[in-house]
Amino acid sequence: YSCLVLFRLTNVATPLWRFPYEEQLKVKSESQKKVLQTLASRLRELGTDKLEITQRPDGLCCPLHSVVPSPIVNGYRNKSTFSVNRGPDGNPKTVGLYVGTGRARNIVCVRANHLENMPEKHKQVAQCYEEFLQQSPLDPCLLFHQGGHWRELTVRTNSAGHTMAIITFHPQDLSQEELCTQKALLKEFFTCGPGAVCNLTSLYFQESIMTRSSHQQSPYQLLYGEPYIFEEVLGLKFRISPDAFFQINTAGAEVLYQIVGKLSRADKNTALLDVCCGTGAIGLSLACQTSKVVGVEVVEQAVEDARWNAAFNGISNCEFHSGKAEMVLPQFLMSQEDDRLVVAVVNPSRAGLHYRVVRAIRNCEAIRTLIYVSCKPEGEAMRNFLEFCCPPDSGKKLVGESFAPLLAVPVDMFPHTMHCELVMLFTR
């Protein structure tokens, strides 16, 4: 491995690695300022009726809190996904992360052994998987149409040291008997062979003919161990399935949820709406201060986890609904009959909220407080911010009173990277 390739991966995956942590926080603070300046500028263009947004001397749309640091700076990731492809030395069974671009045709897969944000356990499992591939007679699946079988490895760990490994496999035209043979070899390697040093708690296998598949599309097959790993956050126990969303930095998640709780000001006279709720962590952590929690999540396994989490922790004022938020939410809000105020917390993926979700929240008079948690606020989240804050527009069916940004709190969940979770508080 050349130092140059390792250096390239370090700069792609952890571009701030050379900076002392205090300097990293300053870089992120400047980045978040630009987001709020952009939002203020775009709202001015839209002619917002919330004058205080556009008249701040600092050019921001609302006050910006200093970046809240992560309690853990190194090895904080509880989930890592590794690709299988050609390495810098030409080895097609290299397990690592990609560097390069398709346009330049210089993409290679580089081992991630030196990355500071990744725990040693993840690196160990990746190294063992590569060792398994080297002895396997089957080829890796580099391009679907060119055949091959072995694909991604995902590793999940918890703070107790338990480890779940999920291996994705393209079946191509293998028979069921041949598939069973490969699963048996994989299990033997990680339980009795060289891979036993990883001390896996769970080993999953997924046959998938797509780039990404849900459990419904291609079921996760448990080859060995426990079906779940468990994590503790703010005194609550959470069950985590193979494909359930859980914040990548567990210690940082505790800080994030406490901040959301303070900003929500939810009390026994309010209901909490948790959109894109994953395993229910935000809603469950705030259940004790509110009258009712309603969670919406597209991943069915995650909803099952959320319901289990509520029952296990003795929380009875939560309900979780499975389905696309844009389908479930409008129907739910229309069916609400009581007059309680609703605090909405949304934590979508980088793709942001579907327009119908924004419209349902915007047009629901009971929602006076909205908390938007975004890991990429300069992306699709910006579109959502504008939709929530623009003047009423009957053409777009945004007839409810507009929201106004009140406060922004960046939380550093991803040390050594440029990313930051931005918690935006909107009210009306």
What positions carry a catalytic annotation?
375
pTM of the model: 0.91
CA pair distance 310, 317, nearest whole angstrom? 9
pLDDT the model gives residue 188: 98
pLDDT the model gives residue 52: 61
CA pair distance 423, 404, nearest whole angstrom? 14
pLDDT the model gives residue 356: 86
pLDDT tens digit sequence for 310-365: 999 999 999 999 888 778 787 777 766 667 788 999 999 888 998 888 998 998 88
- Residue 277 near residue 256, CB atoms below 8 Å: no
pLDDT the model gives residue 49: 59
Q: Among residues 399, 394, 396, which one has the least CA distance to residue 363?
A: 399
pLDDT the model gives residue 424: 97
Average pLDDT over all residues of the chain = 91
pLDDT tens digit sequence for 42-73: 988 887 656 565 567 788 889 999 999 999 99
Question: pLDDT band at 236, cuts 50/70/90?
Answer: very high
pLDDT tens digit sequence for 259-307: 999 999 989 989 899 999 989 999 999 999 999 999 999 888 889 999 9
CA pair distance 5, 175, nearest whole angstrom? 39
Q: What is the mean pLDDT of residues 185-197?
A: 97
Q: Among residues 246, 252, 249, 331, which one has the least CA distance to residue 284?
A: 246
Residue for token pair 């996904």: 81
For the chain, what percent of residues have pLDDT higher than 90? 71
What residues form the annotated binding site for S-adenosyl-L-methionine?
Answer: 247, 297, 347
